[in-house]
């Protein structure tokens, strides 16, 4: 069955960096675009970034553009999110999510990893 | 960016009730709309995509309708496990997808 398992969250000071990972299994990872979505405590869902199945194109929300980098290693079935210059407002649970075959909806999500930016 | 506005923001209902949640897009998105259910401490779960297509395994009491800018999610006979927060999402503007602010469905 499809599984997405995030890791790498934690507490980091403002201005610091963190790299999140999302280990995928149960499907052909190299055939699907992948997203990162975040949710601040008590708030709604915010789309963060997308990478095409082959890593050829990457897209970012304006709120993270220039600070975050999405990447993937299809040989390791793993998605990454490198987060630099972190701010308090980046505090959130970060989810990786897989697109369906034929639509842009997200049919599988990881359990999330919490990133806390605080001094 | 396309803005998605849900109403109401919160809703109180009883088991067995029929409830409807509305989602409005700031511009036409055809039928490129999904609905998700999220329970506390859990990841969102896909309920409906393409505005009205039920995801596999989702109970038939959930239904979706609409196209263009106005969409609805209806739960025909609320069960206890349906009390959760619901989000709409547009995937028209590939891949810069946006979510509504959420509708919290609570027990009356």
pLDDT tier for residue B23 given thresholds of 50, 70 and 90: very high
Nearest to A105 among B42, B91, B96 (CB): B91
Radius of gyration of chain B (CA): 13
Q: Tell me how far apart the alpha carbons of residues A80 and A102 are, in angstroms, rounded to a whole number.
A: 24
For chain B, the residue count is: 108
pLDDT reported for residue A90: 98
> What residue ranges of chain A have pLDDT lower than 70?
none
What mean pLDDT comes out for the span B10-38?
97
Angstroms from A112 CA to nearest CA on chain B: 7
pLDDT digits (tens, 9 = 90+) for B39-69: 999 999 999 999 999 999 999 999 999 999 9
Closest Cα in chain B to A107? B46
Please indicate whether, in this complex, the C-beta atoms of B46 and A107 are within 8 angstroms of each other.
yes
DSSP class of residue B81 equals G
Please indicate whether, in this complex, the C-beta atoms of A112 and B32 are within 8 angstroms of each other.
no
pLDDT reported for residue A23: 98
A80 to chain B, any CB pair closer than 8 A? The answer is: no
Please indicate whether, in this complex, the C-beta atoms of A44 and B87 are within 8 angstroms of each other.
yes
Q: Tell me how far apart the alpha carbons of residues A69 and A16 are, in angstroms, rounded to a whole number.
A: 14
Show which of residues 44-63 on chain A sit within 8 Å of chain B, judged by CB atoms.
Answer: 44-47, 50, 59, 61-62
pLDDT reported for residue A49: 96
Angstroms from B34 CA to nearest CA on chain A: 6
Q: Is the Cβ–Cβ distance between A38 and A94 less than 8 Å?
A: yes
Q: Is the Cβ–Cβ distance between B88 and B102 less than 8 Å?
A: no
Q: Tell me how far apart the alpha carbons of residues B13 and B20 are, in angstroms, rounded to a whole number.
A: 11
A111 to chain B, any CB pair closer than 8 A? The answer is: yes
Tokens at B36, concatenated: 């998700």
Q: Tell me how far apart the alpha carbons of residues B25 and B91 are, in angstroms, rounded to a whole number.
A: 11
Q: Tell me how far apart the alpha carbons of residues A78 and A75 are, in angstroms, rounded to a whole number.
A: 8
pLDDT digits (tens, 9 = 90+) for B5-19: 999 999 999 999 999
Q: Tell me how far apart the alpha carbons of residues A27 and A20 are, in angstroms, rounded to a whole number.
A: 20
Please indicate whether, in this complex, the C-beta atoms of A45 and B89 are within 8 angstroms of each other.
yes
A66 to chain B, any CB pair closer than 8 A? The answer is: no
What mean pLDDT comes out for the span B21-43?
97
Provide φ and ψ at B50, rounded to 5°. Answer: 50, 35
Show which of residues 3-32 on chain A sit within 8 Å of chain B, judged by CB atoms.
Answer: none
């Amino acid at each position: 069955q499809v599984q997405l398992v995030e890791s790498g969250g934690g507490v980091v000071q403002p201005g610091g960096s963190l790299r999140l990972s999302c280990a995928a299994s149960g499907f052909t990872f190299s055939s699907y675009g992948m997203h990162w979505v975040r949710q601040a405590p008590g708030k709604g869902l915010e789309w963060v970034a997308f990478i095409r199945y082959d890593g050829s194109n990457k897209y970012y929300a304006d709120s993270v553009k220039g600070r975050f980098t999405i990447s993937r290693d299809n040989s390791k079935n793993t998605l990454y999110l490198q987060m630099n210059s972190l701010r308090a407002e980046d505090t959130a649970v970060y989810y990786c999510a897989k697109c369906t075959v034929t639509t842009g909806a997200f049919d599988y999500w990881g359990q999330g990893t919490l990133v806390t930016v605080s001094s | 960016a396309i803005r998605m506005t849900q109403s109401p923001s919160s809703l109180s209902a009883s088991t067995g009730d029929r409830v409807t949640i509305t989602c409005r897009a700031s511009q036409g998105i055809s039928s490129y709309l999904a609905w998700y259910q999220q329970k506390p401490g859990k990841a969102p779960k896909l309920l409906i995509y393409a505005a009205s297509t039920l995801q596999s395994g989702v109970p038939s009491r959930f239904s979706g309708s609409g196209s263009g800018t106005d969409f609805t999610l209806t739960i025909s006979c609320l069960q206890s496990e349906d009390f959760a927060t619901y989000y709409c999402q547009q995937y028209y503007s590939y891949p810069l997808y946006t979510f509504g602010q959420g509708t919290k469905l609570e027990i009356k």
